[in-house]
Structure 1
Amino acid sequence: DDNGHGTHVAGIAAAIGIRGGVTGVAPRAELYAVKVLDRNGFGFISDIVDGVYWSIRHRMQVINMSLGVEPGVRSRALREAIRRAARCGIVIAASAGNDGVAAGGLDAPASYPETIAVAASTRNRRIASLSSRGVGIDITAPGEDICSTWPGGGYTKLSGTSMASPHVAGAAALLLAAQPQLTGRQVRQALERSAKPLRGFTRFSQGKGLLQSAAALQRAIACRRAQRRVCPTKRRRATKVAAP
């Protein structure tokens, strides 16, 4: 990582807590770094599209997309790549954007219905002022002053919906580790239906509410138990998380 953002995001999702350091949401997940941006954090939409297709080919189960194309910029190629990933059953968590209340909408791909668009919350359970508002927010996760891994073996604090998104990606990995037979849609439903609404904020800023990983896991387990009474299926492989 020649920028640092990717290392920070990866640590939130899956850091293993070496020598008492930060532990991510899903420390036993198989983490794949899919680099699509340059050392300054910029890149081409075509590279993002390539990263999504790489994830499809290598059978990722979760894709975290802590990046965004600003509202108003449309890409048929990115739209189709996200659609195809969703059809393959991949859970896609995406950062909503960091334009606050002045946002003209969500960044893509968070604006696409196939993704879980993630807003950022503060430590006192409020929506962060930087978190973009708009139609399409699905869920909220911690995104203010998040301490995570940094290149060179250190740690630092960053804020943004980029930090919120891997919390959701990690939670999705936990659900799939516990219940490998869950579909992408079932994972999404468990995460959203178990979220806790934050008082004083509309769905345009928080979606279904604040992520509740433990409650989502219980909901997912109950869902699979109910389905097993009808149609048993085979177990899937361990969870793979890609982090473009």
Structure 2
Amino acid sequence: MAGYNRRSFLKLSGTALGGIAVGSSVTAAASSERFLVDTTKTSQSEVEAAGLEVVHDLHEIDVLVVSGAESDIESLGVDYAADSRYSLDLPIDQESPITAEGADETRDEPYYPIQWDKQAQDIPEAHEITRGEDTRVSIIDTGVAAGHPDLAHAVNEDLSQDFTGDGYGAGGPYGGYHGTHVAGIVAANDQNDAGVVGSAPGTEIVDCRVFSPSALASFADILAAMIYSVRIGSDAANLSLGAYPYARQGQGKFYGKVLNRTTTYANSEGTLLVIAAGNDAADLQHDGNVVSLPAEAANVVSVSATGPIGFMNGGEGLESPTYTPAKYTNYGTNAVDIGAPGGNYDADFPAGYYYDLVFNTIAEPQFDSDGNYQGASYGYAWLAGTSMAAPQVAGAAALVRSQNPGLNANQVRKTLTSSADTVEEFDKTYYGSGVLNPYAALK
């Protein structure tokens, strides 16, 4: 086994630890210039004739995303809503997370010993069956660093796409480190004698960037990325993002309508949408007339987070098992489909709590004073959230589809949920069908 040394491993590239609760989002102001237009009673030519510019053509779901004056849209007499933008929840500590310095078998990757999440899922045993070959997973997020040593084998830069229009392009961590961490959980290389391992290192990653540097992601761009994932035949699309709480009335009702069209279309075409349930510690089943988007949409896999307390806590061992519901995770009967490792924490372990988080790839972008991209620093870091739980499921979906390429999205979902581990110690509302077990799914 390649050397793992606690002393060298804890060298800091910054001064702060990775944070808790990465991945839920909060709603920001609605746009006064971009709108989603329902085209079931109009056409693109009529929309353009009204003086509106088409930003995204989502004809598969009878929606156009347009820019222009609201009065021009009103003249069409169609249903529409202003686009909204969302800000990604950042870690509690805003500084740089801990990064680590840098085999033929999964267990021989240098940092596998601290990947409790992969150990709990029996990922080495799963890789004896398949590593996810001949599959594709879209990462709809802040951008994936194609140059990271543990992801260079996986990212398809030709298919990767920037949905923000900010000019930075795709295949880089332009919107932050979050997307690279998510992608590593799915597909970090298990055969390069370095770093960490992903659940499906044989899969292909497509970067679908919807966040800009220090900016927000729009609902419309997220929809466009989902539709694009279907167009390119992604077996799964991971969305470690969302907005909560969102009112079911008004604009929320329109959003729910077009979102359900999108998720139903994706499901029918074979793309499994895997979505973080959120980090608000909220009971989504009994939270009044509000909704979590897109986690509570139809035909998606909504993922809650689990994690241990006291991993690597010397001779004392675990204080709580890896399937313990995370303190921050959203939950709720009929709102959560499955639980997966996302990381946990306990204030009683201040010196080593980060070992209970999820360790994987990271890339921190660097810009000059004019906003020009100067490259990224690559490393590894601990983060936690349903953001980290969702890609565990997306990776497992790639494994299942690799083994059984003829399965449709419903069958992949059923395989994952029916093989999930039942947990007796904690309330079922935290897990839906149970805790993800990729190896059992393949068996």
- TM interval, short-chain normalised: 0.7 to 0.9
2: CA distance between counterparts of 1:27 and 1:200?
Answer: 32
The residue correspondences of 1:37-186 to structure 2 (distance < 5 A) are 37-40=211-214, 42-73=216-247, 74=252, 75=255, 76-101=257-282, 104=287, 107-123=292-308, 124=321, 125-134=323-332, 135-144=334-343, 145-151=357-363, 152-186=377-411
- AA aligned opposite 2:246: G
Contact 1:137 1:203 in 2 (8 A): no
Instruction: Note the alpha carbon deviations across 1:146-199, whole angstroms, 9 max, x for none.
Output: 001011220000000000000000000001111111111111111001111222
Contact 1:96 1:131 in 2 (8 A): yes
- State the partner residue of 2:199: 25
Contact 2:259 2:297 in 1 (8 A): no
- AA aligned opposite 1:161: T
2: CA distance between counterparts of 1:40 and 1:162?
Answer: 19
- AA aligned opposite 2:415: A
2: CA distance between counterparts of 1:102 and 1:189?
Answer: 24
- AA aligned opposite 2:362: W
- AA aligned opposite 1:42: L
- C-alpha RMSD of the superposition: 1.6
Unpaired runs of 5+ in structure 1? 219-244
Contact 1:36 1:48 in 2 (8 A): yes
TM-score (norm: length of structure 2): 0.47
User: What's the secondary structure of 1:37's corresponding residue?
Assistant: coil
User: What's the secondary structure of 2:262's corresponding residue?
Assistant: helix
2: CA distance between counterparts of 1:30 and 1:59?
Answer: 11
- State the partner residue of 1:236: none
Q: Give runs of ≥4 in structure 1 deviating > 3 Å.
A: 101-106
1: CA distance between counterparts of 2:231 and 2:432?
Answer: 31
2: CA distance between counterparts of 1:33 and 1:187?
Answer: 22
- Higher-Rg structure is 2
Instruction: Note the alpha carbon deviations across 1:191-227, whole angstroms, 9 max, x for none.
Output: 0011112223333211111101011111xxxxxxxxx
Distance change (3 Å), C-alpha of 1:154 and 1:212 = same
Q: By percentage of residues, which structure has more strand?
A: 2
- AA aligned opposite 2:406: Q
- AA aligned opposite 1:21: G
Q: What fraction of aligned residue pairs are identical, expressed as a percent?
A: 35
2: CA distance between counterparts of 1:158 and 1:51?
Answer: 24
TM-score (norm: length of structure 1): 0.84
2: CA distance between counterparts of 1:154 and 1:23?
Answer: 13
Q: Which moved more, 1:175-184 or 1:94-103?
A: 94-103
- State the partner residue of 1:202: 427
User: What's the secondary structure of 1:185's corresponding residue?
Assistant: helix
1: CA distance between counterparts of 2:214 and 2:268?
Answer: 32
Q: Relative contact order (alpha carbons < 8 A, sep ≥ 6): 1 or 2 greater?
A: 1
2: CA distance between counterparts of 1:97 and 1:14?
Answer: 22
Q: Number of matched residues?
A: 218
2: CA distance between counterparts of 1:60 and 1:80?
Answer: 18
